[in-house]
Chains A and B, each alone.
Chain A
Amino acid sequence: MIRTILVCATLAGLPLAASATAAELAVNVHDIRAQTGTLRVALVNTTAAWDGKAAPVQAQQAGPQGDSAHFTFKDLPAGDYAVLLTHDENDNGKLDTNLVGMPVEGYGFSNNPQVMRKPTFDEARFSVPASGTAIDISLR
């Protein structure tokens, strides 16, 4: 079982919009290559948040256990979202990159866009209906 660590204190300020149709999003993560460090998942719903200029809707983290993992985001208003995921394999608090900026630790995005750059919000955007949904993300 994946140990989901919700760091409540740091999430206190999040705008958890109350909605009559609070939906649930399941994120299934595949192709986890290393069994060390921390997987971090951010759920955003705006371009600003995708670009790091605004807070995410929710965020979660967990240590890897096996080559797949499962995260659940609850109480979401129906709407469009995107997910960014990183695997901080050595727990140094960042996604390590080399001298020219290429990542050397795992990462992934909703929709698994086949691009060798950070996808745009639109490329990673998907819809969460009121009835909830599940998505699959392959770490690369």
Chain B
Amino acid sequence: MDRRRFLRTLISSTAGLALGAAALRSAPAFANDPAQFAEGVHAHPWLLGWRSVTSETLGPATVDLQGRLPTGLVGTLYRNGPAWSERNGLRYDHWFDGDGMVHGWHFNGDGTLTHRARMVATPKFTREQKAGRFLYPAAGTSVPNAQAVRNNDDANVANTSVIGINGRLFALCESGSAFEVHPDTLDTLGPVTWRPDLAALPFSAHPLVDHDGSLWNFGSISLLGGAGLLVWHIGRDGQLRSANMIPTPERGYLHAFAMTDQHLVFVLAPFDFNAAGGSFFERMQFAPQRAARIAVVAKDAPDKAQWFEAPFAAIYHFGDAYQRGDGIVLRAVRRDDMDEARSPMKEAMAGDGAHASNGRTSLVELHLDMRRGKAHWQDTGISTIEFPLFDPRTAGNRGARLYAPTVDGPATAPYFNAVAAFDVDRGRRQVWRYGTDILAEEHVFVPRPGSRDADDGWLVGTLLDPVNARSGIAVLDARHVQDGPVVQAWLPYAVPLGFHGTFIGRG
């Protein structure tokens, strides 16, 4: 090879590195103290939900189901969440930092349930496990003496959600590649490169499945310090259909999105980086004085967007969206406290149970007038919910029934202790309260096999019982949430709270 070309290549090809500065810079600072957290758990047992795991696998544990398993409910609830959050005297101080652990809650179909979990063997986890200390930058904690990374995938923790495509399973995290995981053993098969030039690019933790079984997703280039919204479309066969970079008018944070039959809707919350050093979430500051930038992308032309503006809103999770006349209505959970939004359950991560807060959330509707190019928010009067889900079979011209953890009555922990179904338009709510001491997580909607009616199915959700130091799972009839679980099971151990799951039926 020509020497000059070799050197020109060598030297010029590293120019793109500048882009990585935003998400991956890390300055020395003091993170949380594991000993202080351990004391906190003693005083506030509900902090078990934020305790680090110390082994690469959990289970398998097979337990009897209490109640009657509904006919047709056979399969696995897969879940993912930050699980390994302490090493060598350092405890992460941001909930999003822990390395991901994928859980499989298998309904065996014989009255028993088997749980097993395994850490996702990302390059980061594997190298840190070998080194016995955190080596790489984290999203929300300044890791002292963090090593420089090749690209964002060297710091990928694959800790946020899990999704199935064509029999394959993927652990997802918004700042990098999807990691494929074996659906039975949960062994990590490796990062997915959908196309060579798309290697390591963000593939968010909240893809949405279309009626044809294909999958839409986005990657936020803002996380890497650049600008742009990468719109992914993956076929039901697991092959890339398209990937388009849409320019964005300014830097904005988004964690998830919503879609109608025809459109994808992305709501970007503007933010700035403060001058101080540190991790991404330490330096990012929401800019509530600036308008939210909303991109509406037609599914048949995913390379361009129509842009709208509406007052600022910090949002992690969206519910459904539907077409109404010339407009689109979508539902979202707005975080009302900017600092809390930047680091949810921060005090819990520090072991400070006395001061921990779940933050304030409001369910809001965004109304987009496609013809006039206008957008506005509308309050629903519903508050204190997160992780909303719904039956995607709901007709595309009306609002879906939303299923979400919420708070009902007294709660020991500053967290959800109940699950509810919301009929937003009629202002009706069905709620099941698990109890004062129970922490309730996301409840996934599972359609009843063979049924076609919206909301004919079950909610499958996970629980933490800190009093008995055990995690559990509950199944409710989605149309009768107020009747409580039809079947429930408890493990002989507690696992850290996670974020998102998916149910994959069997047979």
Contact = CB atoms under 8 A, between A and B. Distances in A.
Interface in A24-62: 40, 42, 50-52, 55-56, 59, 61
B10 interface: yes
A96 B198 CA distance: 11
B7 A55 contact: yes
Interface in B244-278: 245
B55 interface: no
A114 B146 contact: yes
Interface stretch (B17-25, B106-114, B157-165): B17-25
A97 interface: yes
A103 B13 contact: yes
Interface residues on A, range: 35 or more
User: Which of B21, B151, B224 has its CB near the most chain A CB atoms (within 10 A)?
Assistant: B151
B148 A113 contact: yes
Given A59-B7, A95-B14, A104 B199 contact: yes
A99 interface: yes
A86 B13 contact: yes
B152 A102 contact: yes
Contacts of A50: 11
B14 A107 contact: yes
Interface string B3-15: 1111111111111
B224 A86 contact: no
Interface in B154-174: 154
Interface residues of B, number: 44
A3 interface: no
B17 A52 contact: no
A20 interface: no
Interface stretch (A66-74, A115-123, A125-133): A115-123
Given A40-B10, A97-B13, A102 B148 contact: no
Contacts of B199: 96, 98, 104
A97 B196 CA distance: 9
Contacts of A115: 21, 25, 148
Given A40-B10, A117-B17, A140-B154, A99 B198 contact: yes
Nearest to A98: B199
Interface string B214-245: 00000001001010101000000000000001
A138 B150 CA distance: 11
Contacts of B21: 115-117
Nearest to B13: A95
Contacts of B197: 98-99
A18 interface: no
User: Which of B150, B200, B245 has its CB near the most chain A CB atoms (within 10 A)?
Assistant: B150
Contacts of A100: 16, 19, 201, 221, 224, 226, 228
Contact of A106 (B10, B24, B150, B200): B150
Contacts of B469: none
Nearest to A41: B10
B121 to A, nearest CB: 15
Contacts of B198: 98-99
B16 A103 contact: yes
Contacts of A101: 15-17, 19
A86 B16 CA distance: 14
B149 interface: yes
Given A100-B19, A116-B21, A84 B152 contact: no
Contacts of B10: 40, 42, 84, 86, 95
Contacts of B228: 100
9 contacts: A59-B3, A84-B11, A97-B16, A98-B151, A101-B16, A102-B19, A103-B150, A114-B148, A118-B14
